[in-house]
């Protein structure tokens, strides 16, 4: 733990998303145009809320994955643009609903939409964006892609409900927690990658490779995110340090520290996470316990494990600039925290 | 205003949904089975919340419309079962999110899901059901049906956002209000009807007829619902009388009374609807003003107008028992309040 690399630092000598950004630059310009046009509505509040989130500088990693996967599989058409935009809308809809569910005040360094426009607008504009995502899938015209993405949308919701049910119980196991993030985060990464080979009509093993790459990249990404929640600075993260802690959201660092802790420490975690009473003094104590038990570096080690699976999933596929870029994304994700 | 016919009173000598229920009985048994199987999830909270709503005795009018429309167009397959279940899931998802947005405590005479399981679960289980709805549409395999239903899902959300924006302003015009209910209610009625002829691969004029029938039936249905909110008894409605009033939800009866009222009355409506201070004494006063200006019977008269358009939309189609049943549904909807 220590130095945190800023998320979009493409000039760093270490692994970066820059090659992926470069390779998808032209396509992403079209995706961004499409995203803009599909947030349009005569109902003024819809573009306002949607733009608030869309302008707030997300990395748009998921649509880039769709674009790169399609091109790497030799796809020559333009329907990957539509599916990439659709993937980003699914993600944005999820963020809007998540902020309501988590009662989050901040998102990507700005006030969350629910603070500016209220919970009601966040729920409804999320529904609108999800509807638009499905309309775009219909435009793309692939029933297989629709199958993969609609399934992802149910799995995401299942993951979120699972988290809700497990959220404030220290009885959550590491396996339970993996099931949660497999749903809430990794399912969309996986679907975003799988629709690329679907458009290119590749053989099943190629589709399977991309699905596995996306799933494991998503797990690695989320675990690093969980580690960063306790290890970054406010400016780097675009959210408050300790947000998960204050929300009583149990993540892997906490689960590791809890399981390795003595009775007194376990009592502290129970009180802090199972009640809503966590204050900044408790956060300092929690950070101390995380350090004592090496919970942050070990969470990152777990992330690295899934990152390796993601890399190996792509191993059978022929070398290409797209493949190199996708492999570097894995390294970038796990090296965001060091 | 006066006597309220219980909603599912099929033995009444007046217009009834009974013929529609009879004609779709076998198909509906399959729809109900499918609905049950698609609420299944390893995440226990999902079937619990979904069943709470599904068991609470909604009429399932929308899926019956899909079934009848498909059969009336001569459709012989079984994909109308899947689409009917999908339509009901879209509706159920909307109800879950609506209760959160409206902060409703009751739904169909029971505590609303958000009261029992919280807003968070209602948002997420709604998302799950919406995802399942799209998966079922994919199962049904009709890209045209997917187009119609996904478009409806965005229009519904737009209608709801519009209502949110307009909800507490007495400047809302009757046209504004119609745009709201066209989205939030009529769009799904319309789509539910249109996917029938789509499955049967009819000519465009038949599709157009069913779309128009559904849209205008939906408008009539919602306007009568708005009238019932001020005219029924708690037992008949399954919700509290004056719910709309207490939530500051401006509906046509209020708009009519406001526009017809004197300065003092308009001031009363502004204070009651634009603040959150409406109490039961205000409700009594409001009911008096609605009576004074004939706002309830005139809302029903407006509903009857849309009902007539719905009837005439089906006029060019050949006579059949299904057609008779669909026409009787229109009469049933507008005669629920008299």
Write out the DSSP string of B127-183.
HHHHHHHHHHHHHHT-HHHHHHHHHHHHHHHHHHHHHHHHTT-TT--HHHHHHHHII
Q: Given an 8 Å threshold on Cβ–Cβ distance, is A124 in contact with B161?
A: yes
Nearest CB among B127, B143, B146 relative to A157 is that of B127
- Which spans in chain A are helix H? 18-23, 25-38, 45-54, 61-72, 79-102, 113-117, 119-140, 143-166, 174-181, 187-199, 204-231, 234-237, 243-246, 252-260, 263-274, 280-292, 295-314, 321-334
Q: Is the pLDDT of residue A9 over 90?
A: no
Give the mean pLDDT of chain A.
Answer: 90
Nearest CB among B41, B120, B160 relative to A101 is that of B120
Dihedral of alpha carbons B309, B315, B317, B323, sign: positive
Nearest CA in chain A to B151: A135
Q: Given an 8 Å threshold on Cβ–Cβ distance, is B97 in contact with A162?
A: no
3 state DSSP class of A108: coil
Among A55-64, A137-146, A237-246, B220-229, name the one with the lowest average pLDDT.
A237-246
pLDDT in the model for residue A7? 44
Q: Given an 8 Å threshold on Cβ–Cβ distance, is A158 in contact with B100?
A: no
Domain residue spans in chain A?
18-334
Percent of chain B with pLDDT over 70: 91
Residue pLDDT, tens place only, A271-280:
998 776 667 7
- Residues 63-122 (B) with a CB less than 8 A from some CB of A: 97, 100-101, 119-121
pLDDT in the model for residue B239? 57
Q: Is the pLDDT of residue B85 over 80?
A: yes
Q: Given an 8 Å threshold on Cβ–Cβ distance, is B161 in contact with A119?
A: no
Percent of chain A with pLDDT over 70: 91
Query: How far apart, in whole angstroms, are the C-alpha atoms of residue A100 and residue A84?
Result: 25
Q: Given an 8 Å threshold on Cβ–Cβ distance, is A123 in contact with B123?
A: yes
Phi, psi (degrees; rounded to nearest 5) at B106? -125, 150
pLDDT in the model for residue B276? 65
pLDDT band at B238 (very low <50, low <70, confident <90, very high): low
Under 8 Å between Cβ of A164 and A156: no
Phi, psi (degrees; rounded to nearest 5) at B207? -55, -45
Asked if the C-beta of B158 comes within 8 angstroms of chain A's C-beta atoms, the answer is yes
Q: Given an 8 Å threshold on Cβ–Cβ distance, is A127 in contact with B153?
A: yes
Q: Is the pLDDT of residue A57 over 60?
A: yes
Asked if the C-beta of B154 comes within 8 angstroms of chain A's C-beta atoms, the answer is yes
Give the residue from B188, B259, B184 showing the smallest Cα distance to B223. B184
pLDDT in the model for residue A277? 61
Query: How far apart, in whole angstroms, are the C-alpha atoms of residue A59 and residue A63?
Result: 9
CA distances from A69 to A174, A222, B209 (A): 31, 21, 43
Quote ipTM for the complex.
0.90
Query: How far apart, in whole angstroms, are the C-alpha atoms of residue B98 and residue B244?
Result: 13
Give the mean pLDDT of chain B.
Answer: 90
Model-level pTM?
Answer: 0.91
Q: Which of chain B's residues have a Cβ under 8 Å away from the Cβ of A147?
A: 135, 138
Q: Is the pLDDT of residue B268 over 60?
A: yes
Asked if the C-beta of A128 comes within 8 angstroms of chain B's C-beta atoms, the answer is yes
N- to C-terminal Cα distance for chain B?
5
Under 8 Å between Cβ of A260 and A290: no
Residue pLDDT, tens place only, B295-317:
999 999 999 999 999 999 999 99
Task: Give me the mean pLDDT over the A303-315 stretch.
Answer: 98
Under 8 Å between Cβ of B233 and B254: no
Q: Given an 8 Å threshold on Cβ–Cβ distance, is A124 in contact with B44?
A: no
Nearest CA in chain B to A129: B154
Residue pLDDT, tens place only, B19-65:
999 999 999 999 999 999 999 888 888 999 888 877 776 789 999 99
- Residues 6-65 (B) with a CB less than 8 A from some CB of A: 41-46
Q: Is the pLDDT of residue A167 over 60?
A: yes
Inter-chain Cβ pairs, chain A and chain B, closer than 8 A: 132
Q: Which of chain A's residues have a Cβ under 8 Å away from the Cβ of B138?
A: 143, 146-147, 150
- CATH T-level fold of A18-334: Farnesyl Diphosphate Synthase (1.10.600)
pLDDT band at B13 (very low <50, low <70, confident <90, very high): low
More confident residue, A188 or A51: A188
Nearest CB among B41, B146, B158 relative to A146 is that of B146
Strand locations in B215-319 (E)? none
Burial class (CB in 10 A: 0-12, 13-18, 19+), A90: buried
Q: Are strands A110-111 and A106-107 parallel, antiparallel or unpaired?
A: antiparallel
3 state DSSP class of B111: strand
Task: Give me the mean pLDDT over the A56-70 stretch.
Answer: 92
Q: Which of chain B's residues have a Cβ under 8 Å away from the Cβ of A119?
A: 100-101, 119
Nearest CA in chain A to B41: A158
Strand partners, A110: A107
Task: Give me the mean pLDDT over the B197-225 stretch.
Answer: 97
Q: Given an 8 Å threshold on Cβ–Cβ distance, is A97 in contact with B150?
A: no
pLDDT band at A59 (very low <50, low <70, confident <90, very high): confident
């Amino acid at each position: 733990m220590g130095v945190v690399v800023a998320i979009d630092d493409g000039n760093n000598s270490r692994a970066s998303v820059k090659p992926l950004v470069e390779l998808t630059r032209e396509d992403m310009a079209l995706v961004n145009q499409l995203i803009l046009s599909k947030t349009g509505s005569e109902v003024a509040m819809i573009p306002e809320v949607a733009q608030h989130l869309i302008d707030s500088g997300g990395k748009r990693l998921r649509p880039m994955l769709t674009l790169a996967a399609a091109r790497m599989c030799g796809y020559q058409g333009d329907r990957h643009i539509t599916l990439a935009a659709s993937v980003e809308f699914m993600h944005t809809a999820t963020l809007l609903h998540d902020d309501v569910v988590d009662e989050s005040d901040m998102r990507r360094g700005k006030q969350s939409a629910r603070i500016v426009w209220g919970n009601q607008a966040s729920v409804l504009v999320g529904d609108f964006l999800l509807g638009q995502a499905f309309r775009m899938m219909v435009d793309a015209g692939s029933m297989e892609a629709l199958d993969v993405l609609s399934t992802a949308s149910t799995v995401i919701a299942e993951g979120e409900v699972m988290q809700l049910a497990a959220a404030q119980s220290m009885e959550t196991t590491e396996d339970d927690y993996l099931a949660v993030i497999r749903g809430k985060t990794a399912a969309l990464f996986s679907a975003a990658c799988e629709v690329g080979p679907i458009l290119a009509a590749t053989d099943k093993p190629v589709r399977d490779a991309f699905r596995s790459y996306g799933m494991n990249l998503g797990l690695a990404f989320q675990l690093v995110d969980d580690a960063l929640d306790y290890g970054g600075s406010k400016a780097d993260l675009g959210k408050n340090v300790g947000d998960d802690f204050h929300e009583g959201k149990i993540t892997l660092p906490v689960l590791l520290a809890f399981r390795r802790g003595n009775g007194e420490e376990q009592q502290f975690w129970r009180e802090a996470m199972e009640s809503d009473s966590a204050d900044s003094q408790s956060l300092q104590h929690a950070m101390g316990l995380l350090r004592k038990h090496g919970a942050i570096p070990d969470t990152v080690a777990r992330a690295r494990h899934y990152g390796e699976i993601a890399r190996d999933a792509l191993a059978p596929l022929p070398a290409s600039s797209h493949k190199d870029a996708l492999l570097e994304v894995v390294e970038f994700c796990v090296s965001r925290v060091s």
